[in-house]
Structure formats: C-alpha cells, structure tokens
Amino acid sequence: MTITENLALPVGTTLDRFIMRKQEDFPFATGELSQLLRDIALAAKIVNRAINHAGLTDIGGAYGKQNVQGEDQQKLDVVANIRFIRALRNGGEVCAIISEEDEEVIQTGNHKGKYIVAIDPLDGSSNIDVNVSIGTIFSVYRRLSDQGCEGTLEDCLQRGVQQVAAGYIIYGSSTMLVYTTGCGVNGFTYETSLGEFFLSHPNITIPTTGSIYSINEGSYNQFQPAIKQYVELCRERNYSARYIGSLVADFHRNMLKGGIYMYPSTTKAPNGKLRLLYEANALAFIVEQAGGKASNGSERIMELYPTDLHQRCPLYIGSTEMVEEVERLLASSEASVSSTISATAHN
C-alpha cells in the first residue's frame, strides 16, 4: 500500500464522537451520562497501561489482603479499584459508587451527581500473573434520592431493569470497551498509539444458538442433576468447552460466536458465586440488548430484587435457545423432585 493510499483510509469513529452523536438522538439529554462514560473510558486507559506493565513493574502478584468477598486481592485489583473510583469521583456525575472490592457504599462527595455506578474493577484477577485476558464490568443507575445529599443504600439496591447503561472492558490481545445505553450494543477497540477507543464492532448481536459452553467442569460433582444433564448433552453434541476463569473473556467470546456461560448453584455455593450487582446485572443488560438472554435458572436476572450489596446468584447467560434449554431442564428437574416429595408425603 502506498503512502497516499494509506492516508486515504478513514481513521474511524472515536468513542467520544460516537457518544456525542448518540446524545443528539435524545433531545432531553443534558450530557451527564456521556461524561460519565468518558470518565470510565479514561480510567480504562490508565488500567490498561498498568496491566501492560504488570510483568515489568512490581504490581503483579498478591496484595496480601482479602476483599469483602473473602478472596485474596491482587495488587492490580487494588490499582484498578482506586483508578476507577478516582475517575468517577473527579468526573462529578456520580454521587455514589459500589465496588466488588469494598464492603460499603463509597460516597464521592458529588451530592448533585445524578448517577450510581456499580463496578467490578478487575474481573478474573487470578489470571493476571499468567497473562490471560481479564476485564472490568460496570453498570449505571439513576439515583432515586433527591440531589443535594449523599447517595443512599436504596439508590444502590436497584433491579437490573433500572440500569441506564452497562458495559465491560476486556484487556486481552487488544483492549475493547463494549457498552449499551439501551439502544443496542457497540464495541470499541483501543488504539494505543493514538490513545483513543475506535468503533470496531457496531451493533453487536449474539447468535440465537451456538456450539460453545463455558462452565467450570471441575465442580461437576457439585452440580444439580439438571446441569449435569445439560453438560452431558453438550458433550454428546460435540460442543466446544471453553472456560478460562475470567467472566468477561468467556462472555465476550460467546457474545461474538454464540454460546452459553454458566455458573450454577453448587453444593458448596448454593446461591452461586457471581455477584448480582457487580457482574450479573450488567452483563444481562448487555446480552439482552444484543438479542440474548440471562437467567438465574428460573427468573430473568434483571427482574431480581437485590437485598444486599454483595448478593450472589446463579447465572446462565448467552444465546437465547441455549439458556432456555437449561431453564427447561431445571424446571423439569424441580417438578420431578416436587412430585416425588408429594408422593412420599401421601404414602
């Protein structure tokens, strides 16, 4: 390709330009949400730089403390948490933040801020030291309380259907930011030399079915019979098992190629392991906007009522037909158990 031909190629649509254009579609929009999304993108660039230098600087490995979930924190967990909180606080649009890494609501001091952000600053952090894809997950809600005061617990404990935006950043072979504001899903790839996110995956839609299943089969013996049955069906159908232990990476692959991600309840974790507010709600909003489905096995994820900041739930998310098949198996299994209990009681 000649220099002239190369210069003639379009640079592409930047995230900032895309956000501005979308804002124009809503005549009553005043710009606060657009600014909030830019703040998240800025923090993502800073975290991306830290991740890329993890092998060269002393920010890899364990931090030496546990988070509120009882999980060992990595140094980059702490770095990412600080960076996103700082960016959102400085941006001024968020009155309160809830983070997977913090036990309580984080007040930003921006009492006039209209929004609440729930964030998992660094998902899959156990993969940091082995150079495997990791990510950030976030969701945005309008505050319920009056402006001019601190954000409240009620502001934070909202159902997923009340989200106004959600997204994730995946730090992998390339860094991507994928988000929705309820009008479809778009993905932006980070161009490091220009320091900009460019639209690379417009109007993402997930196939209605697929041939990929993502589940930690190491816990097979702890699964419910219906989940064991579904895993066996996947094996019989020669589906590809793909599980990396990083929710964002597994979810992103299935979004693009078609598949299902499952983290069911187990005998060890009867309520599941994933957090409703920091992980499940955001990804449920995204997958539904892309034409997929997210369920806890019997209910739509986004209809669940949170009662605790760190509430956990089972998650079945991905291609609609695959999620619905799991729901049918679980319902059939539950009906069979109920029938057996009823017959035993009558005898």
Eight-state DSSP code of residue 146: P
Residue 214 is assigned to a ligand binding site: no
Q: Report mean pLDDT in 10-residue bins for the chain, 347 residues.
A: 50 89 69 93 94 63 53 78 96 96 96 97 84 93 96 98 97 94 96 94 97 97 97 98 95 98 95 96 98 98 97 98 98 71 55
Q: How many residues does the chain have?
A: 347
Whether 125 has a binding-site annotation, put simply, is yes
Residue 167 assigned as binding residue: no
The answer to whether 123 touches 263, Cβ cutoff 8 Å, is: no
Report residue 262 as tokens.
Answer: 């499952």
Distances (CA, A) of 117 to 106, 155, 158: 10, 10, 11
The verdict on whether residue 257 carries a ligand-binding annotation is no
User: What's phi and psi for 316, nearest 5 deg?
Assistant: -125, 115
State yes or no: 122 annotated in a binding site: yes
Any known ligand binding at 246?
A: no
298 is in an annotated binding site: no
Six-digit token pair at 235?
């094996």
Q: For domain 11-201, is the CATH number 3.30.540.10? A: yes
What is residue 327's predicted lDDT score, i.e. its pLDDT?
A: 98
| Strand duo 315-318 + 260-263: pairing | antiparallel
Which CATH code is given to the segment(s) 212-346?
A: 3.40.190.80
The tens digit of pLDDT for each residue in 231-251 reads: 999 999 999 999 999 999 999
Annotated binding residue at 279?
yes
Sheet holding 115-123, edge to edge: 106-107, 94-99, 115-123, 134-142, 163-171, 175-180, 185-191, 196-201
* CA separation, residue 59 to residues 85, 140, 245, 284 (Å): 18, 29, 21, 32
The reply to whether 123 sits in an annotated binding site is yes
Residue 216 counted as an annotated binding residue: yes
pTM: 0.90
Locate the domains of the chain by residue range. Answer: 11-201, 212-346
Residue 273 annotated as binding site: yes
